[in-house]
Amino acid sequence: MKVRLSKDSMNVIITGVGGQGNVLASRVLAGMLVNAGYYVTIGETFGMSQRGGSVMSHVRISQKAIRSPQMPLGSADIIIALEPVEALRVLIKYGNPDVAVLSNSRVVYPIGVITGELNYPSLTEIQNVLQKTTAKNWLLDATEDAVKLGNPVLSNIIMIGALSATDLLPIDRRSFEKEIAKNMTADKLRINMLAFDAGAKLI
Amino acid sequence: MLKLLSPANREVLFMGNEAIARGALEAGVNVASGYPGTPSSEIIESLATVGKERNLYVEWSTNEKVALEVAAAASFAGLRSLCAMKQNGVNVASDFLLHLASSGTRGGIVLVTCEDPGALSSVNEGDSRYFARMLEIPLLEPANFQEAKDLTRWAFELSEEIRNIVVLRSVTRMSHASGNVICGKLPVKFRKAHFVYDGSIMDPLRGHVISTPVVAKHSLQQGKLKRATVLFENSPFNDYSGPKKPELLLITSSACFLYSREAIDMLNLQKRTGILKMDCTWPLPPKLLKKHLNSTDKIMIVEEVLPFLEENLKTLAAGMGKEIGIKTFYGKMDGTLPSVGELNPDVVAAALAKIMKVKHKSLPAAYTKELQKAAALIPARELTFCPGCPHRASFWNIHNAIALDGREGFVCGDIGCYAMGALFPATGYHTTPTLHSMGSGTGLASGFAKLAAFGFDKPILTVCGDSTFYHAVIPALINAQHNRADITFIVLDNSGTAMTGFQPHPGLTVSAMGELVPSVDIAGICKAIGANVAISDPFDLDGTCKILNSFVADKGSLNVLIMRQICALSPEKKGKKIFDVKVNEALCLGESCGCNRLCTRIFRCPALIWDRSKKKAVVDEVICAGCGVCYSICPQKAIIRTEAEKK
């Protein structure tokens, strides 16, 4: 596990589609980092925006101070996407040549694609964009592992497990367990630890 | 142990709303009330979780006006109380607020308004700070998470010091953002309620709590505001950072302080610019501002949404003209900053860069070009009803009834997730051309129905949710009955205040604090008003359609249909499928069916997708919530549903 941030502040965006567990993922990640002694600022929206729309949490980690809950354009260090086209949506606004992207490869089609009015890019096209515009990227089928564990919503925790294995942030299995054990029954804790481990194995 | 009750000096991650709740607890709040509304709901929700431990009474009231009345009663009895709402809630509460501000208060009372610049989860971006000026009460705006807690605690002291209500204003990027907060002490003693009214009429602590004699009480009220101004002059919550003589002074409040600081960092302007962070924004303390206005000739005001601070500052500056000289002001009024929508660090940085004549470092051109190419690949993701949402089925039924009737009837919309009935392209069947404030769908319908005399003969329908019904619909419904407005009124009853997170309402048997309470029956109220009342399950398309058809055709009476089906996201239903649903590929005729892809082009459930290679519909089982409604709409009966195993 990394012990320090590679720069100050580190800017992480967690994105996905409403209902995929975006908010929980950002809270868990932020909780782990606050426990490790950092200033963490999360910016997110919920309510109407969660109904089928794109959602995004900005998580900013600093040794020095609270930051703005909205980060500047082009300043993401890490993008974690629970849905692949959402990775691109965030990337085109907040990306830069040094960004690292971890994205779930399981697609959730927007309404406009379902009706036939819009096109959804192929995974190859998405992969090509990631290759050209990121310093590091991973496209993982987190949903498949989550379904194996009995609940597709666990893909958010699988992505956090994957993030820990990349060594991009000072987080690990122990810090995850400590954070989620606060508010979880033993049963739920067990399944979340399994999801975390499954994610770490994907890297 | 609950995070909200963390011991003193513990550093925790609080959402802005949790920090406000903790601040109220540290102030020893006794009563908390509110009506749910994004982004305010978590204040009351989190206080409700610790009500028993902290000897606190917490309620979700029927609407914001009632909530403020409940909180005021506690203040009159010497207790401390908090009342929380979203920006438009202040409009609802404002009639009582005007009179409360005139009568004065006793125990500390704080009105928390959480506002939504950019309307991220609202149908308005109202700026209710103007109420503080109009009603002559103090206004506080925290500029980070620690202050959200500390300023709330201080607001109670200020209220008790001046014996009047204090407004604390937050915004989405504060209320729904999170950051580190160091906890303070929780009090160990709790107050007892005493309501005394045996003194002279002008005695703020022993007289009758009324706004008369009006002129004398008004003068007393203005004296309180002057006292607040004096306290604001030396408050540590107004704070300057930067050089002694900045080339440009930024004066800012709330989340805009964090955007401004970030913008200065982005452009490396720390040595040339300073920030005056104002937490006490009404009334402005003139001596403090004179000192800072004297330090520079250029001032930029950064705030959301309307130029409230800017107007008040310019008024002050005009009065000090002789002492401070002529200043150049940048802000919303001269177009330096946008006059609508929310701000962010980039918007502030762009304005700063222009004034200070510096450039922001940009990404390599080749990289930006790649991003632009990628942008063309990204399909828009519009809001829609969730998989399994009862509203998709309800509007399907409503649309079909209107279409069968053939007289171009329409629906007056209302506030809740079902407002998406008015949004394109949430569904492929549009019924709802109007959408305003809570309860106004029924009032508008009542008005439209009276236009027949002017040649406007269409069936008029209106919808509202179960929580909205109690909040603001009942007077409009009585109006429709009494004035013989011939409307079909539909309650989309999904058993909770769904959009804001399933807060209980008077139709349920549980209170905010989890206690058993009597429920108030919607059907019973409608019957007592004199309406014909029917109840249906919107997932039962045939049964619902029969009732709706007869209601829309009926003339001369008020018809009420309660469509009852629990929200797909509710804790009791989430993850539990009624049916396993799939498409029988052999039966689906795809593009040659003749239905013109009714299922995917019109019905628009995120779980029912179109396989472009097979040219057939297919169910995404990961997303499907198992409501089974699509089974009923397929003319070919190619969508198969089987009862799901109970988990």
List the CATH number of the domain containing B614.
3.30.70.20
- Among partner residues B179, B344, B372, which is closest to A40 by beta-carbon distance? B179
pLDDT at A51: 75
Q: Looking at beta carbons, which residues of chain B come within 8 Å of A109?
A: 606, 609, 620
pLDDT at A1: 47
Assess whether B228 and B269 both reside in one domain.
no
pLDDT at B509: 95
Phi, psi values for residue B275, rounded to 5°: -120, 125
What does the alpha-carbon distance between residue B304 and residue B342 come to, in Å, rounded to a whole number? 6
Q: How many CB atoms lie within 10 A of CB B572?
A: 10
Alpha helix positions (H), B234-303:
255-266, 286-293
Q: How many CB atoms lie within 10 A of CB B300?
A: 25
Answer whether residue A177 is part of any domain.
yes
Chain B residue closest to A148 (CA)? B622
What pLDDT, in 10s, does the model give residues A102-142?
Answer: 999 999 999 999 999 999 999 999 999 999 999 999 999 99
Q: Taking residues B521-547, report their average pLDDT.
A: 98
- Asked if A108 and B606 come within 8 Å (Cβ–Cβ), the reply is yes
Assess whether B218 and B244 both reside in one domain.
no
Task: Find the CATH number of the domain harbouring B500.
Answer: 3.40.50.970
What does the alpha-carbon distance between residue B413 and residue B357 come to, in Å, rounded to a whole number? 49
| B383 and A CB contact within 8 Å | yes
| B381 and A CB contact within 8 Å | yes
Assess whether B253 and B224 both reside in one domain.
no
Answer whether residue A2 is part of any domain.
no
> Whole domain around residue A69: which residue ranges?
10-201
Answer whether residue B121 is part of any domain.
yes
- Band the pLDDT of B122: cuts 50, 70, 90: very high
Chain B residue closest to A154 (CA)? B622
3-class SS at B559? strand
Report the residue count for chain A.
203
Q: Which of B279, B278, B277, B282 is nearest to B229 (CA)?
A: B282
Answer whether residue B471 is part of any domain.
yes
- Asked if B179 and A39 come within 8 Å (Cβ–Cβ), the reply is yes
Q: Taking residues B313-318, report their average pLDDT.
A: 97
Assess whether B608 and B559 both reside in one domain.
no
pLDDT at B417 over 80: yes
- Asked if A34 and B375 come within 8 Å (Cβ–Cβ), the reply is no
Q: Taking residues B524-532, report their average pLDDT.
A: 98
- Counting Cα atoms < 13 Å in the Cβ hemisphere of B466 gives 27
Assess whether B346 and B244 both reside in one domain.
yes
Answer whether residue B376 is part of any domain.
no
Distance in Å, alpha carbon of B557 to nearest chain A alpha carbon: 35
Assess whether B124 and B243 both reside in one domain.
no
- Band the pLDDT of A145: cuts 50, 70, 90: very high
The residue out of B356, B382, B403 marking a domain boundary is B356
pLDDT at A33 over 50: yes
What does the alpha-carbon distance between residue A177 and residue A192 come to, in Å, rounded to a whole number? 9
How many domains does one find in chain B? 4
> Whole domain around residue B589: which residue ranges?
579-643
Of the listed ranges A33-47, B15-29, B269-283, B394-408, the least confidently predicted one is A33-47
Assess whether B635 and B529 both reside in one domain.
no
pLDDT at B70: 98
- Among partner residues B345, B379, B606, which is closest to A72 by beta-carbon distance? B345
Answer whether residue B149 is part of any domain.
yes
Report the residue count for chain B.
647
Distance in Å, alpha carbon of A180 to nearest chain B alpha carbon: 13
Assess whether B186 and B62 both reside in one domain.
yes
Assess whether B632 and B534 both reside in one domain.
no
Chain B residue closest to A135 (CA)? B367
What does the alpha-carbon distance between residue A128 and residue A84 come to, in Å, rounded to a whole number? 12
Answer whether residue A1 is part of any domain.
no
Assess whether B505 and B593 both reside in one domain.
no
| B370 and A CB contact within 8 Å | yes
Q: Name the residue type at position B225.
A: L
Assess whether B395 and B514 both reside in one domain.
yes
- Among partner residues B176, B373, B377, which is closest to A45 by beta-carbon distance? B176
Task: Find the CATH number of the domain harbouring A63.
Answer: 3.40.920.10
Q: Name the residue type at position B516.
A: L
Please give the angle made by the CA atoms of A139, A143 and A147, to the nearest 5 degrees.
Answer: 155
Find which of A13, A70, A178, A188 to mutate to test the B interface (most B CBs within 10 Å of its CB): A70
| B417 and A CB contact within 8 Å | yes
The residue out of B215, B233, B251 marking a domain boundary is B233
- Asked if B377 and A121 come within 8 Å (Cβ–Cβ), the reply is yes
Answer whether residue A48 is part of any domain.
yes
Assess whether B129 and B270 both reside in one domain.
no
Answer whether residue A134 is part of any domain.
yes
Q: Looking at beta carbons, which residues of chain B come within 8 Å of A39?
A: 179-180
pLDDT at B571: 86
Q: Which of A34, A24, A91, A25 is nearest to A61 (CA)?
A: A34
Which residue's entry shows tokens 């949490």?
Answer: A57
| B623 and A CB contact within 8 Å | yes
How many domains does one find in chain A? 1
Q: If you average pLDDT over every residue of chain B, what do you get? A: 96
Answer whether residue A4 is part of any domain.
no
Answer whether residue A5 is part of any domain.
no
Phi, psi values for residue B147, rounded to 5°: -70, -30
Distance in Å, alpha carbon of B426 to nearest chain A alpha carbon: 8
Answer whether residue A172 is part of any domain.
yes
